[in-house]
Chains A and B, each alone.
Chain A
């Protein structure tokens, strides 16, 4: 009962104070803390508050000091004090944990924007018949039903220079059945029918800006969809430390991580259909597309089972990051094509905890 009554009185006090004075926040906070001194944590908070209020008069703030050097000094002092208190608190907690031993409460999981993710209603339920049907009959179904073998044409924007050329070559070494062609100033809409006639299933266009690749258009043939990605942090093989020897011709295994929404599934299928269905496990190579906060990280590794427990991995490169800009229905037609999804900045990413993939 005491526990209940005390904070009530404190509230009243603070209210009265607010009414009397023009709402001095610090004072009311300190008062609140003092009166509700039941829990240990709050007690410590009071200590902090008490000390700070002891050091300075209640309305004092460091920023009010006019002398710059003095202000700086005082601010540093304040900071140091705060840090000290924090350390003490942590030590105390650690001690408590050690004292409690096995009975200690489980450690709190840190809050990240991923585990605080806003629920997305398009998250795919694997048992849903309708979505299963929709996915089973989409444009990639021919590949997943083993009717077609992937064949990829890689080209660039006009007159590629610098990193882009090597990036394309290395992409071609990662993806089996990939051919790099020089663009020769051709229009994409003219290339696409020729690709379809030659049984290509993908057209990949790497865009560059100031010698660095910055965009990727991935067009599934013969009838779409087309995805447009932003490419960033490209590290080619040469720039990667502790990399393994050059990759072999074997077709790699593919790992697709964290593609949970309906859009994410489509994108995952788009990536999966780039590689042949049956990986050569002899090659021990893995291509990973890892989605985190809507950024897709690509890594290419070779693994080895050292013994029954240990696995060693070795990065082969290249590595880069993709971010989806748009997904368009049908083959590449940026002007008249219909978009299934477009990234609308400031409208979609207004909430940091909402993810699209």
Chain B
């Protein structure tokens, strides 16, 4: 199990309660679960890294309110603990604050901080009646953002849980002077700034800027006519990838809020989206039971993996690149050191193939050139 799990670069949680790992270099998918003990109570709702820089532990938030820890080194579940009652609703977000404390958020808006080995939460706060998503800021780990239906964006500092750092104001009435409803479906912190981007169930994308006194969105963009369910920022933070319930994914530029491209190939609603932190690729999963990886540069479909169950959430490993030129060699070197002979053969084969193809192509070019020259002489 251990050597399998170390290969995987994409992790997915499914509705049947199976944790799935996909290795793109070897084009293989693994199930990390006992298939005899499957049950719908163990449906994986959220996935996050237990120790973000190292990325050796996965936290799985299950529907019945337990959080399981999966070690990618050992390839097995190491720990399970209860975080909250089942009547609080299932998880809307989960994140690690440090190696042992974690913060969870349920759909009823209960944000809790759990320390190690204590059954009672250290910090409690209520983030409104319904919460669709809670996200942690990648820079300061005590900062979380929440939002839900009729519950605008709120940014909290977990050190000071009394009041929110920022709470969004209601949207301005529309041209008929009617109230516009709120429905935040997903949130993300824009790197290198205070700004936060949200997508809503009313197919809008909003950018909020807590550093200014304006509590209404500083940018509003619309995409399509179906609820946007997931969102992810690209590595540069200038474009955002959003997906909706019909399986349409679009890239929106955050400077003007214009659509700068759509990703094709999906057939069901999007549940999880994530861009790779360093490579220009985006992974998406959803109700159509496929993991798809698109290139952000030419928007082509790079990989498509059928994973047999509806997929709820998705997590990309930041270190292991899929097929980058420089990164792959490193990864393969590691593989060579650690794995059995077979893998070595595999890795070396792939390398050689690529090189030879390049060479062949080069040679062909040369040959054709020579031929042309000859013809010219004739």
A→B interface (CB under 8 Å):
121-122, 128-131, 133-134, 137, 262, 329, 335-342, 344, 347-348
Given contacts A129-B35, A130-B16, contact A339 B201 (CB under 8 A): no
> Cβ of A342: which chain B residues have Cβ within 8 Å of it?
246-247, 267-268
Partner of B287 from A130, A131, A133, A339 at Cβ < 8 Å: A339
* Known contacts A133-B16, A133-B38, A262-B289; 10 further A-B pairs (Cβ under 8 A): A130-B16, A130-B38, A134-B308, A137-B16, A137-B40, A329-B287, A338-B245, A341-B288, A342-B246, A344-B267
Could you give 9 example pairs across A and B, Cβ below 8 Å? A128-B308, A130-B38, A134-B15, A137-B16, A336-B201, A338-B269, A339-B245, A341-B287, A342-B268
- B372 CB–A CB distance under 8 Å: no
Given contacts A130-B35, A134-B308, A134-B309, contact A339 B264 (CB under 8 A): no
Q: Is the CB of A122 within 8 A of B289?
A: yes
The complex places the Cα of A129 from the Cα of B229 at a distance, in Å, of 30
Q: Is the CB of A122 within 8 A of B309?
A: no
The complex places the Cα of A129 from the Cα of B37 at a distance, in Å, of 11
> Cβ of B226: which chain A residues have Cβ within 8 Å of it?
335
Number of residue pairs A-B, CB distance < 8 angstroms: 60
Partner of A122 from B246, B287, B306 at Cβ < 8 Å: B306
> Cβ of B247: which chain A residues have Cβ within 8 Å of it?
339, 342, 344
> Cβ of B31: which chain A residues have Cβ within 8 Å of it?
130
Q: Is the CB of B16 within 8 A of A340?
A: no
List of 7 A-B pairs having minimum Cβ-Cβ separation, nearest first: A338-B269, A121-B306, A340-B287, A338-B245, A340-B268, A133-B38, A129-B35
> Cβ of A344: which chain B residues have Cβ within 8 Å of it?
247, 267
Q: Is the CB of B308 within 8 A of A339?
A: no
- B316 CB–A CB distance under 8 Å: no
A133, closest chain B residue (CB)? B38
Q: Is the CB of A339 within 8 A of B18?
A: no
Q: Is the CB of A338 within 8 A of B287?
A: yes
A130, closest chain B residue (CB)? B308
Q: Is the CB of B246 within 8 A of A131?
A: no
The complex places the Cα of A336 from the Cα of B200 at a distance, in Å, of 11
The SS class assigned to the B binding surface is: loop
The complex places the Cα of A338 from the Cα of B245 at a distance, in Å, of 5
A240 to chain B, nearest CB (A): 36
B178 to chain A, nearest CB (A): 17
The complex places the Cα of A342 from the Cα of B289 at a distance, in Å, of 13
The complex places the Cα of A224 from the Cα of B40 at a distance, in Å, of 16
The complex places the Cα of A137 from the Cα of B41 at a distance, in Å, of 11
> Cβ of B65: which chain A residues have Cβ within 8 Å of it?
none
B:1-42 near A, CB below 8 Å: 15-16, 18, 31, 35, 38-40
B31, closest chain A residue (CB)? A130
Q: Is the CB of A130 within 8 A of B245?
A: no
B130 to chain A, nearest CB (A): 14
The complex places the Cα of A295 from the Cα of B268 at a distance, in Å, of 20
The complex places the Cα of A335 from the Cα of B265 at a distance, in Å, of 21
- B84 CB–A CB distance under 8 Å: no
Given contacts A122-B289, A130-B35, contact A340 B269 (CB under 8 A): yes
Interface centre among A337, A338, A340, A347 (most CB of B within 10 A): A338
Q: Is the CB of B16 within 8 A of A341?
A: no
B313 to chain A, nearest CB (A): 14
The complex places the Cα of A130 from the Cα of B308 at a distance, in Å, of 7
B41 to chain A, nearest CB (A): 10
A35 to chain B, nearest CB (A): 24
Q: Is the CB of B246 within 8 A of A339?
A: yes
> Cβ of B272: which chain A residues have Cβ within 8 Å of it?
none
A313 to chain B, nearest CB (A): 37
B245 to chain A, nearest CB (A): 5
B183 to chain A, nearest CB (A): 9
A331 to chain B, nearest CB (A): 15
The complex places the Cα of A122 from the Cα of B247 at a distance, in Å, of 18
- B50 CB–A CB distance under 8 Å: no
- B227 CB–A CB distance under 8 Å: yes
Partner of A339 from B269, B289, B309 at Cβ < 8 Å: B269
B:257-274 near A, CB below 8 Å: 264-265, 267-269
B:285-314 near A, CB below 8 Å: 287-289, 306, 308-310
A210 to chain B, nearest CB (A): 26
> Cβ of A262: which chain B residues have Cβ within 8 Å of it?
289, 308
The complex places the Cα of A313 from the Cα of B31 at a distance, in Å, of 48
Q: Is the CB of A337 within 8 A of B308?
A: no
The complex places the Cα of A339 from the Cα of B288 at a distance, in Å, of 9
> Cβ of B264: which chain A residues have Cβ within 8 Å of it?
347
> Cβ of B246: which chain A residues have Cβ within 8 Å of it?
339, 342
Q: Is the CB of B16 within 8 A of A134?
A: yes
Q: Is the CB of A338 within 8 A of B229?
A: yes
The complex places the Cα of A344 from the Cα of B226 at a distance, in Å, of 15
The complex places the Cα of A329 from the Cα of B229 at a distance, in Å, of 14
> Cβ of B310: which chain A residues have Cβ within 8 Å of it?
340
